[in-house]
Chain A
Amino acid sequence: MSGPVNWLSQVGAITKFGLMSIPQRRGAVAATVIGIAGVVAVLVGVLSIAAGFQKVMAVSGAPDAAIVLRSGADSEMVSGFGRDQTRVIADAPGVARNDQGPLSSAELFVIINLPKRSTGMDANVPLRGVEKAAWEVRDHMQIVQGRMFDWGKDEVIVGSGAAREFSGLEVGSKIKVGRYEWPVVGIFSANGAVPESEIWTDAKVLQDAYNRGDSFQSVRVRLNSPGAFQEFKDSLTSNPQLSVKVVRQSEYYVEQSETLTRLIRTLGFLIAFLMAVGAVFGALNTMYSAVAARTKEIATLRALGFGSGAVVMSLMIEALLLALAGGVIGGGLAYLAFNNLHTSTMNWQSFSQVAFAFQVTPQLLLRGMIWAAVIGLIGGLFPAIRAARLPVASALREL
């Protein structure tokens, strides 16, 4: 009885025994596997909501783009600028230019009510007034249906997410804004980013409709390079004419997703943890009965000279394999059921709806498998110890 090879072959032999007896215990084994699958499916499913929401926010911000708000404002909703201020911002150092001037878009942000398709109830949909550079300060903007609105005309284009989630936003339909009716002339996509949840029109048109004079709520700029941010920020914050907050676009969106992802994560982990505790009990039950059913076999092997370490190891391997099978089933189910499931929710910071899709990422699947493995190991450990401590003589007497 020496040498790791020998020990491994012992482990292999006992594990094989265990696995071959699974058909006889199929009820208990199925209960364990499905129990663990349930934990993993719920864990991955709930966290995929948070991952999907975060992904939208993450793809929305380019590192070489910045957003300028009134100082003290935590979102566009409560920010405000006059035309003279937005001009100073556009001309600040660090802002990229093309032949038409600085890549800077002063924008207006309001909310209109539209019925959500899934519930039929009113939801807050963002309506944004933009300037011509809006397409340059954001990445991956593309008209996918119809055409761009004409500048100065009462027309809107709709993000593909908004068109999917809310009714009445097809090309050719009209939306009511106060006393006005504006036709939808096109649908645009933005690589899954936040603008896809919005409706866009000319900032001037929106100012008139809302009696806003020549005022804006935010300015978005494209910088010469990601490194130009500090220069841009310093020049604005040190300018006595302005009282502004300058944020990198990427950071702005990450900050906006914090509240919701925190809520989902807290609740998701809480639920999954409780389920995991339940699954551990289930796994313990199965493995204890597996040990009980094999008392004689184990005792016989021990009498033949198999080590107790090998017994423990093989039972742990068996539990681990069952748990991993559960993890694969659960992760697979979550992937099939949830991946890319489209929905929309409230973004508390902007007080409006954001369309997103659940994301079952490889990291989440890995995390699910780790949870499954831990459940399996805990569920296998105690029964394995009991098996190893079995007094050989008395167990054999039961024969």
Chain B
Amino acid sequence: MKYLHLVWTNLKRKKLRTSLTLLSILVAFILFGFLSAIKQALVGGVEMAGADRLIVRHKVSIIQLLPESYKARMERIPGVVLATHQTWFGGIYQDPKNFFMQNPVVPEEFLEMYPEFILPPDQKKAWEVTRTGAIVGRSTAERFHWKIGDKVPLQSSIWSQQDGSRNWTFDIVGIYDGAKKGTDTTAMFFRYDYFDEARRGWGKGKVGWFTIRVKDPSRAAEVAKLVDEEFENSDAETKTEPEGAFIQAWASQLGNVVLIVAAILGAVFFTILLVTGNTMAQAVRERTGELGVLKAIGFSNGQIMALVLAESCLLTVLGGVLGLGLAWLMISRGDPTSGLLPMFFLPTRDLFTGLGISIGLGLVTGIFPALLAMRLRVADALRRI
């Protein structure tokens, strides 16, 4: 630590060069932060999935509906604690660009199934007594400036009311928050009993998909098999899978996001590696004479090497910390695509990964100049002064 001053002074010698290098490292880590958040938004749902929850959908595809009566049959299957259902409503609020999910649910069951949605008790009560009541997540409420008591008109692309109208109006009775960072609070939920009575036509008594909770997550696969067997050879056969697998399959439909993100990050860090490595090599070359003097007055090879490595690591870690900090600030301002990426945030895990990478970057870029400095022969170095 006592050499910190020396390291710091060396960095300050060429202020312009050091700050430009620092800035390019900083930008690399802002990018790292952004890409982590994008990846999180696209594939991170898997981590939010409940280990004890299974999703039951129509075997042919999720757009086929299942009879609501399946619920009772599911709850009789051993190992199933609770079953509840949701249906895709496909409502448009003013403009199709204002996309968010709205689903009819059975309030009590639904809130029990998803403890990550936190609704104050009085709002929960209000929802239970208001037939046309709906609850909406914090981020969507803020996006459209909705308050409790507001009436929200939605135009459904799928469901029409008894009179043929596709315009539905819901009363906002509650605004829920997420229990965890990353809980999706963009969706709106309203009451299934109201929805089923009000809708017209073919869908009556049918729902989109079921979520079931199993008693023992380690036996989830067995329970899933039992559920599918229960409805085998019926008009609506089912496919049951853990919530995590369901979300993962959904995310992978977009394409291989993880690979694309990794490729971009690879390109970025390779570039930064070159820029920083080049700066360090230049710095050592310029200082050959001084390093010779240090050696002549008794600095060991190890100390010389440590000095150079400390300098490169200080530079990259400083850039890394500043970059990650800035990325975190920018990402906290929310989704840049206005609504397409509901789970856009920077996970703490990735902050630590970033810090690790910054140290690694310092070591890799510093190692060759450090070796160069270490192998320097005192006589040769001093001759250059």
Contact = CB atoms under 8 A, between A and B. Distances in A.
B17 A35 contact: no
B17 to A, nearest CB: 6
Contact of B275 (A35, A42, A123, A271): A35
A177 B60 contact: yes
A38 B157 contact: no
B90 interface: yes
Given A110-B63, A119-B252, A259 B340 contact: yes
Interface string B255-272: 110001001100110111
B1 interface: no
Given A42-B264, A119-B252, A266-B337, A74 B157 contact: yes
B155 interface: yes
Interface string A18-58: 00000000011011001100100110011000000000000
A274 B264 contact: no
A47 to B, nearest CB: 13
Interface in A70-122: 72-75, 77-78, 110-113, 116, 118-119, 121-122
Contact of A266 (B59, B282, B336): B336
A271 B63 contact: no
Contacts of A30: 274, 278
Contacts of A34: 270-271, 274
Given A73-B157, A123-B253, A271-B31, A285 B21 contact: yes
B271 A279 contact: yes
A297 B20 CA distance: 25
Contacts of A45: 263
B38 interface: yes
Of B60, B157, B260, B263, the most chain A CB neighbours within 10 A belong to: B60
Interface stretch (A137-145, A185-193, A226-234, A345-353): A345-353
Contact of B61 (A31, A110, A343, A344): A110
A271 B36 CA distance: 12
A344 B61 CA distance: 18
A124 B61 contact: yes
Interface stretch (B22-30, B104-112, B349-357): B22-30
B38 A267 contact: yes
A72 B35 contact: no
Given A282-B275, A288-B17, A289-B17, A74 B96 contact: yes
B16 interface: yes
B340 to A, nearest CB: 5
B24 A271 contact: no
A74 B237 CA distance: 29
B61 A113 contact: yes
A284 interface: yes
Nearest to A70: B157
A364 B279 CA distance: 32
B237 A178 contact: yes
Given A178-B59, A284-B20, A274 B275 contact: no
Contacts of B92: 74
Contacts of B282: 27-28, 289
A121 B264 contact: no
Contacts of A124: 61-62, 253
Contact of A270 (B34, B268, B274): B34
A270 B30 CA distance: 11
B20 A285 contact: yes
Contacts of A116: 252-253
Given A78-B158, A121-B249, A274-B31, A35 B271 contact: yes
A17 interface: no
A277 interface: yes
The secondary-structure label for the interface of chain A is helix
Interface residues of A, number: 55
Contacts of B249: 121-123
Contacts of B272: 278
Contact of A31 (B60, B155, B254, B275): B275
A278 B24 contact: yes
Given A343-B255, A345-B253, A278 B281 contact: no
B27 A275 contact: yes
A74 B97 CA distance: 12
Given A111-B61, A112-B61, A263-B340, A285 B279 contact: yes
A121 B245 CA distance: 9
A281 B275 CA distance: 9
B274 A288 contact: no
B345 to A, nearest CB: 15
B301 interface: no
A178 B337 contact: no
A345 B24 contact: no
B183 interface: no
B60 A113 contact: yes
Interface in B13-49: 16-17, 20-21, 23-24, 27-28, 30-31, 34-35, 38
A147 interface: no
B337 to A, nearest CB: 5
Contacts of A270: 34, 336
Contacts of A16: none
A368 to B, nearest CB: 14
A232 B282 CA distance: 73
Contacts of A132: none
B215 interface: no
A31 B274 contact: yes
A262 interface: yes
Given A38-B270, A282-B24, 10 more contacts: A27-B277, A31-B277, A46-B260, A72-B157, A119-B256, A124-B61, A271-B31, A281-B23, A285-B21, A288-B20
Interface of A: 27-28, 30-31, 34-35, 38, 41-42, 45-46, 72-75, 77-78, 110-113, 116, 118-119, 121-124, 177-179, 259, 262-263, 266-267, 270-271, 274-275, 277-279, 281-282, 284-285, 288-289, 343-346, 351, 353
Nearest first, the 10 A-B pairs at minimum CB distance are A278-B27, A281-B24, A31-B274, A111-B61, A121-B249, A38-B271, A285-B20, A78-B157, A119-B252, A346-B253
19 contacts: A28-B278, A34-B270, A46-B260, A46-B264, A74-B96, A74-B157, A77-B63, A110-B61, A123-B249, A123-B253, A124-B61, A124-B253, A178-B59, A259-B99, A275-B268, A278-B28, A281-B21, A284-B20, A288-B16
